[in-house]
Amino acid sequence: MKKWFALILTFLLLLILSYSCFTRKSQNIKNNLLSKVNTSYAKENMSWVKVKGLEGSDLTQSRVLVIEGVAKNQFQREKAYLIADKSEGILSVKNYITISHNDYISKEKNEIIEEETEIEIEKPIYKLTITKAKGYKIVLIKGVVPNITIHHKLITKAKKVFGEVNVIDELEEKQGTPKDWYKSIELGLEELQKVQYGQFKLINNEFKFQGLVQNQENKSKLLNHLNQNLAEYYVGDYSIEISKIKLSCQKEMDTLLSKNRIYFQYNKNNIKKESYILLNSLANVLKNICLKEFIEIEGHTDSKGKKDYNLELSTKRANSVKTYLLNQGVKESKIEAIGYGESQPIASNKTKEGQKENRRIEFKIRVSK
């Protein structure tokens, strides 16, 4: 008898212990589910939703979530339900959320109204600045463009115009820029080529341009071009000054050519990219300073190879330079290309250094053609 009593007592103790463990496990599951739901509401800034708890006494029934609160409108009420319903571990939701009385016309009609509240939305500001430093060396581009494609396109064009190493890129992408934003940037970039130094800014639909030009004629041309090509809806604000220093065509050309030279691919008339910076600068001088002068572009070679071949190569190279300058806006009536081959050496062709000196492009300036 005692033996049976001991067995029964042991069984009851095990049953009580199992029930206790099960109850604790059930409570932990409940707490975990409630925590997840509350976290979801917190992320959506919906602190007005009151999570009342989980119904039922066992694991199956305890996954019925009860929520309460007062929503501003039907949309908010439905959103609260969906967040709870999609929570992992929740089987169903009892939604006791009511809608604010302010959102009803009347209880009889049960119609939801949208409160007409005037909300002042701050208008975004879009800015872009391109600065051409004094001395025509550094061009700083900063501000916003609509996407990475336009970003790459703009920087590529700027480097082609001002030189690969002369462009500082501080752009960022930002959606929503005004209509014709890039068109306006291209206009400003084009006009900066015509000034000795300057800057243009875009601030939403305001186009601000300032710079220094050589004379009144250049100023008039620049202003006319800006007025004719500024995109619709943009407001122009221009400040163009005339340089008090009279620049010499010959001196400016000599200064550029004394520090740099034009390079071609071996035995060809293809201009190397490293010469684009120099050619862009020469084009700027020809367009803005050499207003009355006529330029002869002379091609020269060393004495290696046949004379006829060298003459043909020098002519082709001179014409390649002419074509490049024409593409930069230099008038064709101002320049002429001539090839002299090996006939006018300036150093000995017996050394590699002398041959290098003889392979050259020269610019001869005349007052008139």
* For residue 90, pLDDT beyond 60: yes
CATH value at residue 339 = 3.30.1330.60
pLDDT score of 312: 93
* Digit-coded pLDDT (tens) for 181-192: 999 999 998 888
* 22 token code pair: 């099960």
* 327 token code pair: 């593409």
* For residue 27, pLDDT beyond 70: no
Q: Looking at the domain assignment, is residue 61 inside a domain?
A: yes
Domain match, 72 and 34 both: yes
Q: Looking at the domain assignment, is residue 268 inside a domain?
A: yes
pLDDT score of 197: 83
Q: Looking at the domain assignment, is residue 112 inside a domain?
A: no
pLDDT score of 116: 42
Helix axes 148-162, 276-288, angle to 10 degrees: 70
Label the pairing between strands 294-300 and 335-339. Answer: parallel
pLDDT score of 2: 54
* For residue 80, pLDDT beyond 50: yes
* 127 token code pair: 């800015």
Q: Looking at the domain assignment, is residue 37 inside a domain?
A: yes
Label the pairing between strands 197-203 and 127-132. Answer: antiparallel
Please calculate the CA angle 193-199-203 and round it to the nearest 5 degrees: 125
In angstroms, the CA 161 to CA 167 distance is: 10
Cite the DSSP H helix spans in 86-215.
148-162, 181-192
Radius of gyration, alpha carbons of the chain:
39
* For residue 236, pLDDT beyond 50: yes
pLDDT score of 22: 46
pLDDT score of 321: 93
Structural domain containing residue 302: 249-366
Q: Contact at 8 Å (CB) between 248 and 154?
A: no
Domain end position, chosen among 103, 136, 160: 103
CATH value at residue 171 = 3.40.1520.20
Q: Looking at the domain assignment, is residue 46 inside a domain?
A: yes
In angstroms, the CA 354 to CA 107 distance is: 101
* For residue 108, pLDDT beyond 50: no
Question: What are the two backbone dihedrals, phi and then psi, of residue 153, each rounded to the nearest 5 degrees?
Answer: -60, -45
**Tokens 């050499």 found at:** 290
pLDDT score of 28: 67
Q: Looking at the domain assignment, is residue 134 inside a domain?
A: yes
pLDDT score of 217: 83
Q: Looking at the domain assignment, is residue 169 inside a domain?
A: yes
Q: Contact at 8 Å (CB) between 176 and 126?
A: yes
User: Structurally, how many domains does the chain consist of?
Assistant: 3
Please calculate the CA angle 111-117-118 and round it to the nearest 5 degrees: 150
Among residues 252, 261, 270, 194, the alpha carbon closest in space to that of 226 is found at 194
Percent helix, strand, coil in the chain, to 5, is: 45, 25, 35
pLDDT score of 119: 45
Percent of the chain with pLDDT over 70: 80
